[in-house]
Structure 1
Amino acid sequence: MTSTLDKLEKKAPASVPRTIGRIGLGAVLVLAGVSHLTFARGDFQAQVPEWLPLDKDFVVLASGVVEISLGGALVALPKRRVLVGLVAAAFFIAIFPGNISQWVTRTPAFGLDTDSKRAVRLVFQPLLVLWALWSTGAWRALRRSK
């Protein structure tokens, strides 16, 4: 019996540009995850909203591990690209409040030391969601399943 996920995977288009996009996003996520664990840890801690009832260092380390895992999965699991694309898109949505918090609280990090720079950064999070959905074929597979 074929699962819904298997059906979605079969409806996901694959092409050279999508494959390059998927592997590129995977590489970006792995690099971002490594930076969470090493050289940019303090900047990422500055983005954790004050209202989040978790230790900032824990949030940064955990999100770094998630990013490395997602990045690796985007590269290593092409047959599950729709699932990984959906999870990556959900992850980008889940961390978006941190970007909004950085803008609202005017917290400098990553060289984002003006309201304008922080506002421009907000535009890039939805683009990451779209990148994940497009490069994995998840967007089209979901549309085709209806």
Structure 2
Amino acid sequence: MSRSERSPLLLAGLLAAAGTAHFAVPRRFDHIVPRSLPGSPRAWTHASGAVELALAAGLALPRTRRAAALASAAFFVGVFPANVKMAVDWRHRPTPQKAAALGRLPLQLPLVLWARGIARNAEGRS
């Protein structure tokens, strides 16, 4: 299997793991939901987990890969405010936790670019 064939499956696996974690350990995600969003943080945690699972399924299937990759890129942009909130909220925590929260911020850009690259590859194959 070539790198371009593995890439969407790797991103699908990452999203599936994250989506599953939103249901398995939701408290970990509830606290990073921006307060400005209406409704309960748990509802947003479950909704984002469901979206991640749906995106993973879409990326895994060649027929829906392009649309799922573009939606994944948009999703990564959309969850950035939660990562900013986490970094701000964790600024007084011990150094390893603070570093993890800050480290999430620059990771969003490679995720967006990865998803866009998958979409571009899927476009060329249709």
TM range (shorter): 0.7 to 0.9
* Counterpart mapping for 1:1-146 below 5 A: 16-38=2-24, 40-76=25-61, 78-106=62-90, 113-114=97-98, 116-137=99-120
Distance 1:107 1:36, change over 3 A: farther
Quote the sequence identity (%).
30
For 2:100 and 2:47, the matched residues in 1 are separated by 26
Distance 1:56 1:136, change over 3 A: same
Match of 1:12 in 2: none
What's the CA shift for 1:105? 2.4
**TM-score normalised by the chain length of structure 2:** 0.85
Q: Which runs of 4+ in 1 moved over 4 A?
A: none
Aligned length in residues: 123
Structure 1's unaligned 5+ residue stretches are 1-14, 142-146
For 2:15 and 2:34, the matched residues in 1 are separated by 21
For 1:112 and 1:83, the matched residues in 2 are separated by 36
Cα deviation per residue 1:13-44 (whole Å; 9 max; x = unaligned)?
xx921220100100111111111011x21111
What's the CA shift for 1:112? 6.0
For 1:79 and 1:25, the matched residues in 2 are separated by 16
For 1:60 and 1:126, the matched residues in 2 are separated by 22
Pick the structure with greater CA Rg: 1
What SS does structure 2 have at the residue aligned with 1:51? coil
